[in-house]
A and B are shown apart, each in its own frame.
Chain A
């Protein structure tokens, strides 16, 4: 009887996607708040992957992804391009404000725009420090940062 062993590379190609599927199966889905009056929620757009550890599932191949509605207050936002580039941002959101979050994997910088107030802030995913346009870090007393 001939037993043909699986080549290690072929085995890895089979095992790695299978393991990643097992990992994905345990991540809960984010459910936006439904009990807020109009104008009370914070709205977040951009490349958002996770909110408080829950998957947002807004992968869009054609055009921009749908905005994410949030209850005002502190949240942990996951952004990035691919699993290895994921960045977590502890942010406090203001009611009725709209935000845009962009992550450039090349520069390791996340841009946070409050389109309601017109202000822009940055987060360095290497040092985990928030800073402004003049590259001045945010004082630690203002954490979690409210853009």
Chain B
């Protein structure tokens, strides 16, 4: 029985590795070397992670927390195309529900402005409305 389980785990790992290998060749993202007042940044929260910026992947992004945390990416000012992932989990009594949702986001980042991205209501794992907020001028845009 345990041998069958081990085989299943190995098969699942091979399948997932095969899936990764057949995706697009994306180079690693290189953050710009700009002074803080000349750059922009975006910060994910409540299980929101920026994984791709302009067809380049954020390196080392393989561990995701559900419902909390996120990553921060420094950007050159101007328009960017981002891929965002939100990881949520809920449940109890031995039953867990996991979900990963993804969005493609086009946004024009202003010079010297920092942004945050995540659910409209960060305490509600079922809230699927995602927003991008300019922390400097307070403007909020729904995805």
Binding site for B on A (CB under 8 A): 8, 12, 84, 90, 106-109, 122, 124-131, 135-137, 139-140, 143
Contacts and interface: CB of A to CB of B under 8 A. Distances in A.
Which of B15, B19, B57, B99 gathers the greatest number of chain A CB atoms within 10 Å? B19
Contacts of A131: 23-25
Interface in B81-111: 81, 83, 93, 95, 99, 102-104
Contacts, number: 59
Interface of B: 15, 18-19, 22-26, 51-52, 54-55, 57, 81, 83, 93, 95, 99, 102-104
A126 B19 CA distance: 10
B19 A140 contact: no
B140 to A, nearest CB: 23
12 contacts: A108-B19, A124-B24, A126-B102, A127-B24, A128-B102, A129-B55, A135-B25, A137-B24, A139-B55, A140-B54, A140-B55, A143-B81
Contacts of A90: 104
A127 B19 contact: no
